[in-house]
Amino acid sequence: MAELLPVILALTILVSGVAGAAILTWFERRLLGVWQDRYGPNRLGPLGIGQVLADMIKLLFKDDWIPPFSDRVVFIFAPTAIVVAMMMGFAVVPFAPQMMIIDVNIGLLFFLGMTSLAVYSVLLGGLASNNKYALLGGLRSAAQMVSYEVFMGLSLMGVVMITGSFSLVDIVEAQADIWFCFTQILGLFVFVIAGIAESHRLPFDLPEAEHELTAGFHTEYGGMKFAMFMLGEYLGLMLISCMIVTLFFGGWHSPISLGDGLPPFFWFSFKTFVVICFFVLLRAAIPRPRYDQLMSLGWKVMLPITLVNILITGAVLLWMEGAV
């Protein structure tokens, strides 16, 4: 039975991940509506939740068209890559004590690696489409994701230094007393921004940038292949939110001296939900920067902040150990 648990959990994550991403499309539209003083989809079913089903049916029955001028194999491979990579990323997320698929001692690195693999999806999708808009989108995403990858990893080094481990379970347990969002505030700031850029959501959705590039890298995609890209994007959003909660907001720990009777999984999912709402708020509020602004923000602001963060964290750690 104990060996079966990860398998059951993996299947649960697969199903709930896909369902969650589908519901998230509806939830995001409703929430954007709230903040933009309108309703959003509210016709089908209670609160418009039937919209999810309607969208799925529509996408399933669309013509699964592969452009004759495209690179066929890569074109089909690209949308699957992002979904597989994001799903793999969930393998190391500790939802609650004992409630994770695998607790590897390099969990954090595994997560970073998996999110990095998602760039292939966007890049190959843009390349294989043989379309100038798609190519530009793929080009942008390659530059954006590779450069934001650098300090996404570096911003987490502070957390790793304090914990002394790459294992996500150890990181969560190290936050039993104080969450890293207080001690690693710079790291949190950089990681959130890098996370948005990594999952290329608004305001950093330059690979798509519908005003300039029609739909960016998925211009030529339709039907279920397009749905796979969307699924991957929303999975990425959920994964980044899970990781922010795990790394900076205490994972399954409940806020100090409050509601101890609630299960750890509740706290984890509640915090993740709040972070997702925050991402939607970013989308509702912040306009998209220009491409060069994005790159200069990354290299000229984010990277120095990260390095300063590592410096301060290291210095404080050494000082507390009494080494200096």
Partner 1 sequence: MLSELRTMWEVLKHTFTKAETVEYPEQMPYLAPRYRGRIVLTRDPDGEERCVACNLCAAACPVDCIALQKDTREDGTWYPEFFRINFSRCIMCGMCEEACPTYAIQLTPDFEMCEYDRQNMVYEKEHLLINGVGKYPDYNFYRVSGMQTASKDKGEALNEERPIDTRSLLP
- Of 12 and 36, the one with the shorter C-beta distance to partner 1 is 36
Amino acid found at 136: L
Residue type, 160: V
d(CA 184, CA 62): 47
69 neighbors 130 (Cβ within 8 angstroms): yes
Which residue in the set 57, 285, 312, 315 belongs to the binding site for partner 1 (CB under 8 A)? 285
Contact 109, 92 (CB under 8 A): no
Task: Specify the residue for token string 């996408």.
Answer: 59
Of 50-58, 75-83, 238-246, 280-288, the segment contacting partner 1 by CB under 8 A is: 280-288
Piece of 5-13, 33-41, 59-67, 150-158 that binds partner 1 (CB under 8 A): 33-41
Binding segment (CB under 8 A) for partner 1, from list 69-77, 117-125, 137-145, 284-292: 284-292
Among 5, 34, 146, 312, binds partner 1 (CB under 8 A): 34
11 versus 34: smaller Cβ distance to partner 1: 34
Q: Is 37 in the site for partner 1 (CB under 8 A)?
A: yes
DSSP conformation class of 216: G
Closer residue to partner 1 in complex, CB, 5/286: 286
Q: Output the six-digit token pair for 34.
A: 């709230």
| 203/223 with CB nearer partner 1 | 203
Answer for which of 15, 102, 281, 312 binds partner 1 (CB under 8 A) is 281
SS3 281: helix
Give the ranges where the chain is alpha helix by DSSP (H).
4-35, 50-60, 72-89, 107-128, 132-155, 157-163, 168-173, 180-183, 185-198, 210-213, 223-248, 264-285, 291-296, 303-321
- 41 versus 125: smaller Cβ distance to partner 1: 41
Closest separation in Å from C-beta 255 to partner 1: 21
The answer to the question of residue 35 lying near partner 1 (CB under 8 A) is yes
In a 13 Å sphere around the CA of 240, the CA atoms on its Cβ side amount to 30
Using the rule CB under 8 A, is 61 a contact of partner 1?
no
Q: Which residues pair with 99 in a beta bridge?
A: 96
Q: Closest distance between partner 1 and the C-beta of residue 35, in Å?
A: 5
Please, what is the minimum distance in Å from the beta carbon of residue 203 to partner 1?
A: 9
Cβ proximity to partner 1, 33 vs 113, nearer residue? 33
Is residue 262 close enough to count as binding partner 1 by CB under 8 A? no
Is 38 near partner 1 (CB under 8 A)?
Answer: yes
The SS3 of residue 174 is: coil
Two structure tokens written together for 138: 């793929």
- Token pair listed for 158: 């502070």
Taking CB under 8 A as the rule, does residue 308 contact partner 1?
A: no
Q: What 3-state class would DSSP assign to 96?
A: strand
Only one of the segments 116-124, 150-158, 265-273, 277-285 lies at the binding site for partner 1 (rule: CB under 8 A); that segment is: 277-285
Whole-number minimum distance, CB 40 to partner 1, in Å? 9
Q: Out of 44, 47, 161, 284, point to the residue binding partner 1 (CB under 8 A).
A: 284
Task: Tell whether residue 39 is a contact of partner 1 (CB under 8 A).
Answer: yes
| Sign of the alpha-carbon dihedral angle for 137, 138, 141, 143 | negative
Q: Is 197 exposed, middle or buried (0-12, 13-18, 19+ CB in 10 A)?
A: buried
- Which residues are near partner 1 by CB under 8 A? 33-39, 281-282, 284-286
